[in-house]
Amino acid sequence: MAGFLNALSACLVLLMLMAVGYGMGVRGWMTAREKKFVSKYIINIAVPCNCVVGLLDNLDHDDLARAGLLVVSALLGVGVTLLISAGVAALLRLPRGRWGVFVAMAGLSNTLFIGIPVSTQLFGEACMPYVMLYYLANTSFLQSVGLLLIERSGDGGSRGGGVGGFLRDLFTKPPILAVLASLLLLALGWELPTPVMRFAGYIGDSVSPLALIYCGFILYELGLRNLRLMPGLPAMLVIRLGLSPAICWLFCLLFGVEGLARDVFVVESALPVVSQVTVMAGAYGADEEYAATGACLSVLACLVTIPVLMLILG
């Protein structure tokens, strides 16, 4: 019961922070221009700093062997969830513009904008290494399978690039570069100077509030009155918020992942739709409104499902 109440309290804090973003949109203090700035700042500066501090402060050289096993567990969990989502999308006979969007929404989790604030509220800063390892697995599928599915659903043409293009896109992302650099430093047993770590800590602390303010503004942009359960969205919510954590828990059990790592992975797998799906849908001519509606509904629904999940985890 204590975990449930803690999760309920955490979700209330998240809701209040999202309300700030929504209110800024209502007052006209935040527009599409500011939203673009906040997004770029979070992804390219704040999250990499958060990665460095989270990994270097909470992992050591002896933890690296286990880290590989954790990433494999997360990769398999996300991959199986995507396969099940594709099967459900086929059964629902969704139109082309929604098929790939549905699979990406159901199979991929919002590990940054929602994942970091939720996990740190529930587990404290000690969860950050596990958050970033799950992010590494999740974003690998987002930049490959997710991108391909949404591209095939749209009319915006093919991106191309093959394996080389995928690797270039994946390994030029600042958060992934920060994770890899931190793991290299841990492997070598090196430490960053204290001023650098303090700087990274100050910048990294801005991720959670700004990410939730960003999500609140997204809700404002879509409009709460426009939220409705389009065909397929109920099934998507069941997979995203219910089936996905069950699959993740199963692979954690198979790979012997226990304790804080397991709890963080399960919560990370049960989070709302990853925000990039809506951006990709708009860029490639897929059903952007469908993606935005699914993303917003999943954000609101997780305020109920996360406390219940914490109650189950104990």
Give tens-digit pLDDT for 213-255: 887 887 788 777 767 788 899 999 999 999 999 999 999 999 9
Measured N-to-C along each axis, helices 64-92 and 128-141 cross at an angle, to the nearest 10 degrees, of: 40
| Measured distance CA(51)–CA(177) in Å, rounded | 10
Q: Which helix (H) or strand (E) holds 253?
A: helix 244-254
Q: Which residues contact 186 (CB under 8 A, 6 or more apart)?
A: 55, 56, 59, 60, 61, 63, 64
* pLDDT for res 185: 87
Q: Are 203 and 46 in contact (CB under 8 A)?
A: yes
pLDDT at 3: 61
How much is the pLDDT for 182?
A: 84
| Domain residue ranges of the chain, discontinuous segments joined by + | 2-313
Q: What sections of 93-239 are H helices per DSSP?
A: 96-107, 115-123, 128-141, 147-153, 162-170, 174-188, 194-204, 207-222, 233-238
Chain centre to alpha carbon of residue 307: 18
The model's pLDDT over 118-157, given as tens digits with 9 standing for 90+, comes to 888 888 888 888 988 898 888 778 877 887 888 788 775 4
pLDDT at 88: 95
What is the residue-averaged pLDDT of the chain?
A: 83
Q: What is the pLDDT of residue 262?
A: 94
CA angle (244 as vertex; 141, 103 as ends), nearest 5: 50
CA pair distance 156, 144, nearest whole angstrom:
17
pLDDT at 247 (0 to 100): 96
Show the tokens assigned to 59: 């992992």
pLDDT at res. 167: 66
**Contact indicator for 156, 285 with CB cutoff of 8 Å:** yes
The list of the chain residues with pLDDT below 50 reads: 157-158
- Does the domain formed by 2-313 have CATH 2.40.10.220? no
Distance CA 266, CA 248 (A): 6
CB 251 within 8 A of CB 77: yes
The pLDDT value recorded for residue 238 is 96
pLDDT of residue 1: 63
What pLDDT, on the 0 to 100 scale, is given for residue 20?
92
Cα–Cα distance measured from residue 301 to residue 295, given in angstroms and rounded to the nearest whole number: 10
Nearest to 114 by CA among 249, 312, 303: 303
Residue type present at position 106:
A
- 311 exposed, middle or buried (CB, 10 Å; 0-12, 13-18, 19+)? middle
